[in-house]
Chain A
Amino acid sequence: MIVSRREAWLGRALLILLMAVTVVPFISLFVTALHKPGTYPSGMSWPETPYWSNFVDAFQAADMWALLWSSFLIELGVVPAALLIATLAGFSLGHLRPPGHRWIFLTFVLGLTLPFQAIIVPLYYQMRDMQLLNTRWAIILPLLGLYMPFAVMWMRAHFVTMPPDLSEAARIDGASTWKLFTRVHVPLSRPALSSLGILMFLWTWNQFLLAVVLVDDPKNRTMAGALGAFQGQWGTDIPLLCAGSLLILTPTLLVFLAFQRQFVSALMQGALKG
């Protein structure tokens, strides 16, 4: 390939600059978190004596174990169930194609661009009437519905590409629809399922609006919702707020670094399909 040396250097410089811009806010947050609690530090200055204890204090002040447990329970309520019901629907609409499958799919697609704020007010009263306000169910149940447009579209897109011969062969061997699904199609869908699972895990963890509106107690919220409450409580103590923010975003960073390859491809595919 013909590449002038100047272009190559310009490219590298650009890339490094963008990475720096990406990373500086994280570093700024970290450095600020090490200052004396209650002070108003400036910019990127390294403190004379780093207060590592801020992290311990923030951990206790935020009741971190309770927050992690709550987020974990919400993830457990949302991700496996959403994967299951979306796969069933995607299998039906994309592979079995029962009468009316086009219209059903179109109805799901309708919700694809819907911002959560557009339906949050009636959702609040619905949760109140179901007496689920302030419980984790108030986040779990709506998320199952709100994820369906994307999740069904994602799984349908996967099942549409499955050759019909595969199912016919299984049918001739006497497989029922259910067996066809569990024995043949689910094992073949693993890559699509894991990508979707990663995306829904991330979106659930970071879900803010539902958590803030439908659940008052931060200990019943998602991590992002809890962070919002933490900001309200410690907004004036900058170093402690920064330490708490870092603690709360560390789990996502760790999960991301552990599964980064799947994460990146899931996010890219997710964007492409969305």
Chain B
Amino acid sequence: MNETRTTAAPGRREVVATASTSLEARRRALKARRLRRGWAALGLVVPAAFFYVLFVLRPLVLTVQYSFYDWNGVGASTFVGAENYTRLVEKPELLASIVNALELIIYFSFVPVILGLLTAATIRKFAASRLAMVSRTVLFLPQVIPLVAAGIMWTWMLATDGVVNELMRAVGLGSITRAWLGDTSTALGAVGVIGAWVALGLCLLLLLSGMTKIDPALFEAARIDGAGAIREFFAITLPSVRQEIGVCVTVTVIAALAAFDIVYISTQGGPANSTLVPGLEIYYLGFFSREVGQASALAVVFMALVLAVVLPIQRLTKEED
């Protein structure tokens, strides 16, 4: 530090001495330094950009490229134009996988957000209590464990002799018990239950933390004016946590559309493709039937779908700021 100061001092004196004559030179030096710093600053981005370009952007471009070819991953590839895309519409299970993904949004997103909202609004009043503190730890557990583990647990819970059926028998609903994940009419909903279980804790606690930031005077004023719990919820609570709702919806909708781990473990897309989702179908096409082009075309449509669903949600929450 000292060294730089002693070397800098004569330099400054020089500048002062020649200030009147070379104002232009000084400005140029300043500009050069700024430029040099600019380059140095850009240099700091290079490592991050290197990995991002090589392992995200490059495969992204390749996905689009592959989608126009017929390729089995080993031999020569042939250009087929948009054929992989037209075949997406013709193959019923490919289209069905997209419909399934959209249906999963109801379970993975709507259920946890709505249930989270109602519960958070009810427990807001004692958010600082011991019970609420303990719940922070407990309700986060599903977020912490691998989704694979959640899948294994719930496969067992939803089995013919699992806890769910046992509870139903205990309350007299024995007639509707079944292997929930093995029945074409209930499998997708059963997968949805697992996703809802995973997301509920995060949504509830996020919404609760949003609600605790609301000025308590607002609630008191509402109550004094004679508002009940329901009026209070729609007039104060709901509008105040719009941003948090946006976050919950975004995160859970992406999780629903990109579902892979849970489905892979619990049903593998079956029975009879009733739980097939795009993520899983890309995996099957790309690595089992080796239809790389077809898998890539589905991947492109899949990405477009995610953007088409998520971007409007993002815009809605941004406008609130």
Residues on A lying within 8 angstroms of B by beta carbon are: 1-4, 7-8, 10-12, 14-16, 18-19, 21-26, 28-29, 32, 40-44, 84-86, 88-89, 91-93, 96-101, 104, 107-108, 111, 113-126, 141-142, 144-146, 148-149, 151-152, 173-174, 177, 181, 202, 205-206, 208-209, 212-213, 223-224, 227-228, 231, 238, 241-242, 245, 248-249, 252-253, 256-257, 260, 263-264, 267-268, 271-272, 274
Q: Specify which chain A residues have a CB less than 8 angstroms from the CB of B265 in the assembled complex.
A: 228, 231
B197 touches A25 (CB 8 A): yes
Contact present for B307 and A113 (CB under 8 Å)? yes
Which of the listed residues A84, A92, A213 has the most CB atoms from chain B within 10 Å of its own CB? A92
Given the complex of chains A and B, what is the CA–CA distance between A115 and B305 in angstroms?
11
Residues of chain B within 8 A of A274, CB atoms compared:
247, 250-251
What would 19 more interface pairs be, CB under 8 Å, given A98-B39, A119-B59, A224-B147?
Answer: A1-B125, A7-B122, A7-B125, A15-B132, A22-B142, A22-B197, A43-B161, A113-B254, A115-B260, A116-B260, A117-B278, A124-B286, A144-B51, A227-B146, A241-B152, A253-B141, A256-B140, A260-B136, A264-B205
Of listed B59, B126, B283, residue having the most chain A CB within 10 A? B59
Q: Is B216 an interface residue (CB 8 A)?
A: yes
B42 at the interface (CB under 8 A from A): yes
B164 to chain A, nearest CB (A): 9
Q: Which of B45, B161, B205 contacts A93 (CB 8 A)?
A: B45
Known contacts A43-B162, A146-B56, A224-B146, A92 near B41 by CB under 8 Å: yes
Partner of B264, one of A125, A144, A228, A257: A228
Cα distance, A3 to B220, chains bound together (Å): 10
Check A231 against B161 for contact (C-beta < 8 Å). no
Please measure, in the bound complex, the distance between the C-alpha atom of A242 and the C-alpha atom of B156, giving whole angstroms: 9
Cβ contact within 8 Å between B247 and A123? no
Instruction: Enumerate chain A residues within 8 angstroms of B216, measured Cβ to Cβ.
Output: 1
- Of the 9-residue stretches B20-28, B178-186, B291-299, which lies at the interface with chain A? B291-299
Q: Is the CB of B209 within 8 A of A148?
A: no
CB distance from A83 to the nearest CB of B (A): 11
Q: Is the CB of B157 within 8 A of A174?
A: no
Q: Is B260's CB under 8 angstroms from A208's CB?
A: yes
Which of A2, A28, A122 meets B156, CB within 8 Å?
A28
Q: For B222, give the chain A residue with the smallest CB separation.
A: A2
Residues of chain A with a CB closer than 8 A to B163's CB? 24-25, 28, 43-44
Interface pair A252/B44, CB less than 8 Å apart: no
Quick one: closest A residue to B167, CB to CB?
A43
From A15, A28, A213, A249, give the contact of B283 (CB < 8 A): A213
B18 near A: Cβ within 8 Å? no
Partner of B138, one of A22, A43, A96, A100: A22
List the 10 shortest-distance A-B pairs measured between CB atoms, nearest first: A145-B55, A115-B258, A224-B146, A43-B166, A89-B48, A122-B62, A42-B161, A98-B41, A96-B41, A119-B59
* Bound CA–CA A99/B144 (angstroms): 40
Q: Which of B1-9, B78-86, B87-95, B103-111 contacts the other chain?
A: B1-9
30 A-B contacts (beta carbon < 8 Å): A4-B229, A10-B122, A18-B119, A28-B163, A32-B156, A89-B44, A92-B42, A98-B37, A104-B45, A111-B57, A116-B258, A118-B303, A118-B306, A119-B60, A119-B62, A119-B299, A121-B286, A121-B295, A122-B62, A122-B296, A141-B51, A145-B52, A174-B1, A174-B5, A205-B146, A224-B147, A227-B148, A242-B152, A263-B144, A268-B205
Q: How many A-B residue pairs have CB under 8 A?
A: 310
Does B113 interact with chain A (Cβ within 8 Å)? no
- Tell which of A145, A177, A206, A264 touches B51, judged by Cβ atoms closer than 8 Å: A145
Known A-B contacts A99-B38, A113-B310, A242-B156; A18 and B148 likewise in contact (beta carbons under 8 Å): no
